[in-house]
Structure 1
Amino acid sequence: MSQTFRHPEILEIARREGKVTVEGLAARFGVTLQTIRRDLTDLAEAGRLERVHGGAVLPSGTHNIGYEERRSLNQSAKRAMARACAAEVPNGVSLFLNIGTSTEAVAEELLHHENLMVVTNNMNVANILVANKSCEIIVTGGSLRRADGGLVGTLAAETIRQFKFDLAVIGCSALDRDGDLLDFDIQEVSVSQTILRQSRKTFLVADHTKFARSAPARIGSLADVDTVFTDTALPPGLAQACDGWGTRVVDISEELVTEVP
């Protein structure tokens, strides 16, 4: 296969998985490691990827990838994380779900919960939970972000400040190795910070692609989160930091390995 045909497929794998490795691509395409290194160098020079040790990741930037593309990324892992997260949400609690495809997956898993009061700034979450007749749904005000159905801005934050939630389930756009939760939209960051302040307990749902990306605005830290649900082992330094912060890590990667295709 020529590089003309490899490059689009390499980019598609990077978009789907968040990262590509030299060894993995060489095995996939049946070419040498040197050939893949040249491919990745070419793609990096074109601004399509960023080289990292052993492979490449999607380039950092100030803009998120499209909503539909995010919905299609890592779907099986998102479903598994959502199941694990929803299993720890009791019936009869007040709950906040924020913007993101991972929190939408959690909403799908809450359809059989009873007597929830869900507040959300995610129109998609509200539409999903309509099917749960015992769930009270409150949608914040705010400026509608048409791209993904999110409600952001001052009005959204003001609405959230009227509540004290038993639990918040949130997502983020990126997680760095220091444990900082990052996002692209400054208005969304302000809302997410308000959610953290107004919640007695917080769950973060973040798949492995979030560790391979960067975003410019800081929401907070994993130190502010009670439990993180993920599909990968955390880097050793970050795992140790979570132990010190008292942040529990639920890694569902073994469940994914044992799933029957």
Structure 2
Amino acid sequence: MLADKRHSKILGIVNDEGSATVGDLAERIGISESTIRRDLAQLADAGKLNKVHGGAVALDAEDVQYDVPVAERSAKNVAQKRAIAQAAARLVGPQDFVYLDAGSSVDLLVDCLDEMRATYATDSVSHALKLASRGFEVIVLGGSLKSATQAVVGPDTNSAIARYHFTLGFWGANGITREDGFTTPDAAEAEVKRLSMRQTLHRFVLADASKADRVSRVTFADFEDATLVTSALPASSALLGCENVMVVDA
């Protein structure tokens, strides 16, 4: 099989499914794994996909399956995320005890907050510093710091969360479907999200439409467990018309 035809088949599979392993590609295309590895390297050099250990990830799916650094994520879909953040900020009242998850969408929410009488708690060091610099009352949860997401995770974080009862909370997600719920790449961070949601009365997930109808590695909440605040969804999205989806005009 000519290289151009192999590359076309590889890109078709990876882009349609978001990711693929070397073994799966070799079996489906009918060529050796060593040839697939060479093809993936060439396609990655050409900027057509992301080569990862054991396979490849579509360019637009990398932040669904892997923890992309905060600075890189913050540069994507900024207008949509800002509109979502502005809508979310209006939900905070003066008596609220607010939980703020780590993530780029919640980071923009922090910039939009103006309710000084509320109390805020977060597992994100960067969120806490922003809030403190503006004079907000903020509680920082302890734990082990993850450099990619700037979130704290682990047993100490989980124990701290269990002591609190939040009236309102905001989370990010890497993937959202009706069947698999709200998902994220890392198991430790998923546990922090799951436990903090359990301790919160009113729950909102902030995620632009690029995360809709995608599945990441670990489910941290069922789809019905929170209200999704998102940007305009494509006509093909299975999330359209759901009662717990709030679409914000960017």
Whether TM-score is above 0.5 comes out as yes
Contact 2:142 2:157 in 1 (8 A): yes
| Partner in structure 2 of residue 113 of structure 1 | 115
| Partner in structure 1 of residue 228 of structure 2 | 228
Paired with 2:138 and 2:217, the residues of 1 have a C-alpha distance of 32
Offset at 1:148? 2.8
Residue range with higher mean Cα deviation, 61-70 or 135-144? 61-70
| Partner in structure 2 of residue 125 of structure 1 | 127
Paired with 2:73 and 2:50, the residues of 1 have a C-alpha distance of 25
SS at match of 1:166: strand
Offset at 1:83? 0.3
Contact 1:232 1:251 in 2 (8 A): yes
Contact 2:100 2:106 in 1 (8 A): yes
5+ unaligned residues in a row in structure 1: which ranges? 1-13, 19-38, 51-55, 257-261
Contact 2:50 2:62 in 1 (8 A): no
Offset at 1:65? 2.3
The superposition leaves residues 221-260 of structure 1 with CA deviations (integer Å, 9 ceiling, x where unpaired) of 22000x22111237554334x33xxx2x22123xx2xxxx
- Identity, in percent, stands at 25
Paired with 1:77 and 1:210, the residues of 2 have a C-alpha distance of 12
| Partner in structure 2 of residue 153 of structure 1 | 154
Offset at 1:44? 6.0
Q: What letter is aligned with 2:176?
A: L
Contact 1:140 1:151 in 2 (8 A): yes
Offset at 1:57? 4.2
| Partner in structure 2 of residue 65 of structure 1 | 68
Q: What letter is aligned with 1:104?
A: D
Offset at 1:164? 0.6
Residue range with higher mean Cα deviation, 143-152 or 180-189? 143-152
**TM-score in terms of structure 1 length:** 0.70
Residue range with higher mean Cα deviation, 169-178 or 138-147? 169-178
Paired with 1:194 and 1:157, the residues of 2 have a C-alpha distance of 7
Aligned length: 204
Q: What letter is aligned with 1:76?
A: A
